[in-house]
Structure 1
Amino acid sequence: MVRQEVLPAGVAAELLARWQEPHRRYHGVTHLDDGLAVLEQLGGGDLEKIAYWCHDAVHTNSSPTDELASAEVARALLAPHLTPGEVDEVCRLVLVTVSHLPAPEDERGARVADADLHGLGLPWDAYVANLAAIRAELPGLSDAGWRERRQAFAARMLQRPHIFATEVGRQRWEVTARDNLEREVARESL
């Protein structure tokens, strides 16, 4: 069940319609709901949850264009309801999902980044199902292009000293995420 209670009146319907667009196979309502549940587990506050609602408001598989556009959607939808400082913070948190590399002292950004990446640390079968859903969102990409894209993503993640920015994320998902990414890289097809 998607948690809407943190959103100002009228904003939830607009965002939910975006999350339900027919081209979304991975970046849909399940990803939204799972990430909000993870934010709850990580102790995320209302602005973090609102940012998570907004982080994939625009999704065309074009980063960072999508995140920049999602931040603008957030600004337009939230400006009548939140203070300018709160709107700025939500937009900043949306943009953390471009790199998922918040500054060390950015606890809010760390929680949003980890909520978005937590799927990397799921059991292998769920990880593979997520990969298939992400692949389905890219029907125009050749198999070779898909493999190249995934190899580059996995390499970036595996080169980091930590995939997850919170201590809880590292404890819960780091080992499994690294195993999943290494296993994906080692396979000839996914």
Structure 2
Amino acid sequence: MVNIDLPDEIRDDLLARWREPHRDYHGIKHLESGLEYLDQLGGTPIERIAFWYHDAVHTNTSPDDELASAELVRAQLGAVLTPAEVTEVARLVMVTIGHDPEPGDEAGARISDADLAGLARPWKGYLDNIRGIRAELPHVDDHAWRIGRSAVLEQLLGHERLFHTAHGATHWEQRARANLVRELSALQPD
């Protein structure tokens, strides 16, 4: 199980959030794999805490979820971390809104890359992720899903870089782009 250096009551609350029944993609598996990716990128303990919080509130409403997750950081961690650390954790949560950290923001680059690294999974694993994301939106009909998902894919493909760390650019960028293009092609009407 993933580890976090926080009091048991905070860890237990976060685990309960990540295990909420409406989560399919944004559940424990995403947390665990993201933390593994973050470790590959040399993430710090503060960055690990930020990753635990980045989807702590999840209702499929961005940026409201990230804003609420950052507020949860402030509410839960004020007595546990220094004010500067709380501010940094909340800031890193907010980086996951657009996955576009400022140049030189190494911590933001690691958090963003860890969150998006699943885009570079082998095709079968990538499809498993997409099924999980789709399952979290049962109220969206298939036509609206294709339109909305296509817009997300086009937005991602419009970024000059998906990954902002050297490791991400070298190991994940090419496969992630190929996966995005392949999915986008499959979503287009015949």
Distance in 2 (alpha carbons) for counterparts of 1:97 and 1:176:
21
* Normalised TM-score (structure 1): 0.96
Are 1:121 and 1:180, in contact at CA under 8 Å, matched by a contact in 2? yes
1:99 partner SS: coil
Corresponding residue SS for 1:63? coil
Cα shift at 1:11: 1.2
Please state if 1:75 is matched with 2:74: yes
Residues 26 and 137 of structure 1 are in contact (CA less than 8 Å); yes or no, is this contact kept in structure 2?
yes
- Residue equivalent to 2:147: 148
Where do 5+ consecutive residues of structure 1 fail to align? none
Please say if residues 150 and 187 of structure 2, whose CA atoms lie closer than 8 Å, have aligned partners that are also in contact: no
Alignment of 1:21-32 (within 5 A): 21-32=20-31
Q: Which amino acid aligns with 1:34?
A: S
1:74 Cα deviation (Å)? 1.1
Using the TM superposition, give the Cα deviation of residue 43 of structure 1 relative to its aligned residue in structure 2, in angstroms: 0.4
Name 2:58's counterpart in structure 1: 59
Q: Deviations along 1:52-87, whole A, 9 cap, x unmatched?
A: 000101000000000000001111111110011100
Work out whether residues 3 and 33 of structure 1, in 8 Å CA contact, stay in contact via their aligned partners in 2.
no
Q: Aligned-pair distance for 1:144?
A: 1.2
Deviation >2 Å, runs of 4+: 6-10
The one-letter code sitting in structure 2 at the alignment partner of 1:174 is: E
The size of the alignment, in residue pairs, is 188
Q: CA deviation at 1:164?
A: 0.5
Are 2:32 and 1:33 aligned? Answer: yes
Distance in 1 (alpha carbons) for counterparts of 2:39 and 2:187: 37
Question: Given residue 113 of structure 2, which amino acid in structure 1 is its aligned partner?
Answer: D
Cα shift at 1:108: 0.2
Equivalent position of 1:174 in the other structure: 173
Distance 2:59 2:143 in 1: 20
* CA distance in 2: counterparts of 1:176 and 1:162, whole angstroms: 13
Alpha-carbon contact 1:2-1:29 (below 8 Å) kept: no
> Over the residues paired in the alignment, what is the CA RMSD in angstroms?
1.0
Structure 2, unpaired ranges of 5+: none
Kindly state the Cα deviation for residue 30 of structure 1 after the two structures are TM-superposed.
Answer: 0.5
The answer for the alignment partner of 1:50 in structure 2 is: 49
Aligned partners of 2:152, 2:7: CA distance in 1, in Å?
A: 35
- 2:164 aligned with 1:165, yes or no? yes
Alignment partner, residue 123 of structure 2:
124
